[in-house]
A and B are shown apart, each in its own frame.
Chain A
Amino acid sequence: MKRTLAFLSLLFVLGALLYISNPEYGLKFGLGGEDWKNLRYTDDYYITHGVEEVGGTNIVTDIVFDYRGYDTLGEATVLFTAIAGAVALLRPWRRDEE
């Protein structure tokens, strides 16, 4: 009985989310249509200028390594620091070797 109720409530939540996320009559997140493009013009800019300015046909790599290069630099620094910390912390200690 409890499990059936739980599954039914999960189904209800799923249906409610599907109804909400429908663009026709659900919730609207921000503007739509042409007004959206006026504010989010960077998406179109990357798609139209990416190949000519950076050269890679993979737009994600263009953004990650050129337009958002500082972010990737910080990401590499975080990875380096994490690996260095893991290797420094997890090495065998002297008192364990006795």
Chain B
Amino acid sequence: MSDDMGVIVKTMARATIPLIGIFGAYVVSHGHLTPGGGFQGGATIAGAGVLFLIAFGLSEMKKRYDKHLYSALEGVGGLVFLGAAMLGLGTAFFYNTLWHNGPVFNGDPGTLLSAGYLPIMNLAVGLKVFTGLVSAMVGIALYRRWKS
């Protein structure tokens, strides 16, 4: 029994998965400028992964999904988030010290390289949410107590 969908769904998924991924990356990277942010953009990119899973089936997903890599990336996202929060530990936890007196991310408000640690946190949280949701989806799809 094949667990993938028909050729129409697969062709449409091939066309739309890159667009969904690009839109999610835009939402994450412009999180401090436009509506959205790490959580929302990460969930959008995870939607592309879910579309891949249900369009191409679990056997195709198993080839491209590396459990150890995704677990490590989720941990790295959380640790980068904590590290960015600890950058201003000289004043307080969660103090935005990169803004106003940092070497990078110190541009005018409204430009991409501004807002101190906000872009770093957005990227970290987006990575964490994306890998976590994809891991959860693959875990749910792998869970079959019955025999086919």
Contacts and interface: CB of A to CB of B under 8 A. Distances in A.
Interface of A: 51, 53-58, 60-62, 64-66, 69-70, 72-73, 75-77, 79-80, 82-83, 86-87, 90-92, 96
Q: Sort A-B residue pairs by CB-CB distance and give the 6 closest, nearest first.
A: A56-B32, A69-B94, A55-B115, A83-B132, A56-B115, A90-B139
Among B36, B37, B82, B110, chain A packs the most CB atoms within 10 A around the CB of B37
A62 B118 contact: yes
Interface string B130-147: 001101100110111100
Contacts of A86: 135-136, 139-140
26 contacts: A51-B109, A53-B99, A54-B115, A55-B96, A55-B99, A55-B109, A55-B118, A56-B31, A56-B32, A56-B109, A56-B118, A57-B32, A57-B110, A58-B35, A60-B35, A60-B37, A61-B118, A64-B37, A65-B121, A70-B94, A75-B39, A77-B78, A80-B74, A86-B135, A86-B140, A90-B142
